[in-house]
């Protein structure tokens, strides 16, 4: 069941609200950027995400196919979310970093299912052979 969460960057310049159903699973990927940032993500529909403040504080980074806008606060450097024009099913989505959600308990995080993705090999339908480091 979807629940509304709030979150944002470290300095507070960027704030968002997101409707997420964590029981549907979260994502850990081994692509180059996810691996370097130890990203733990929740993919949600673009309509389930609301940027409350900080559009002017966001910097954009893209690489590879340039489908995903990796947005981060230009003041504190924290990446709270990323946006993609086309995700599964061709619909726009937002990837929220769980580390930036304010109102989630440690127990809820521990109970959240994790889906591993082999982004390094562009195999988004399968887990990598090794996941312990993710």
CATH of the domain at 15: 2.170.150.70
pLDDT tens digits, 70-95: 999 999 999 999 999 876 678 899 99
Rounded to a whole number, what is the largest CA-CA distance in the chain? 40
Contact 51, 96 (CB under 8 A): no
In this predicted structure, what is the pLDDT of residue 125?
Answer: 86
Answer yes or no: is 132 within a domain.
Answer: no
96 domain residue, yes or no:
yes
Is 58 a domain residue?
A: yes
Report how many domains make up the chain.
Answer: 1
Residue 83 lies in a domain: yes
31 is a domain residue: yes
Q: What is the pLDDT of residue 85?
A: 85
pTM for this predicted structure? 0.91
Residue 53 falls within a domain, yes or no?
A: yes
Helices (H) and strands (E) in the chain, counts: 2, 10
Smallest Cα–Cα separation from 100: which of 122, 72, 58, 59?
72
* 29 occurs within a structural domain: yes
Residues paired with 61 in a beta bridge: 70
Tell me the percentage of the chain whose pLDDT exceeds 90. Answer: 79
Q: Are 21 and 34 in contact (CB under 8 A)?
A: no
Q: Is 123 part of a structural domain of the chain?
A: no
Range(s) of the domain holding residue 38: 3-116
Place of tokens 């990837």: 95
Tens-place pLDDT, residues 44-53: 999 999 999 9
């Amino acid at each position: 069941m979807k629940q509304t969460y709030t979150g944002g960057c470290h300095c507070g310049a960027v704030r968002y609200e997101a409707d997420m159903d964590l029981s549907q699973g979260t994502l850990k990927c081994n692509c180059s950027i996810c691996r370097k940032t130890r990203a733990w993500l929740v993919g949600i529909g673009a309509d389930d995400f609301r940027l409350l403040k900080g559009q002017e504080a966001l910097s954009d980074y893209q690489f590879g196919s340039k489908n995903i806008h990796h947005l981060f606060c230009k003041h504190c450097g924290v990446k709270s979310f990323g946006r993609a024009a086309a995700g599964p099913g061709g619909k726009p989505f937002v990837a929220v970093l769980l580390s930036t959600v304010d109102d989630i308990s440690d127990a809820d995080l521990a109970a959240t299912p994790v889906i591993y993705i082999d982004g390094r090999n562009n195999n988004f339908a399968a887990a990598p052979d090794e996941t312990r480091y993710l």
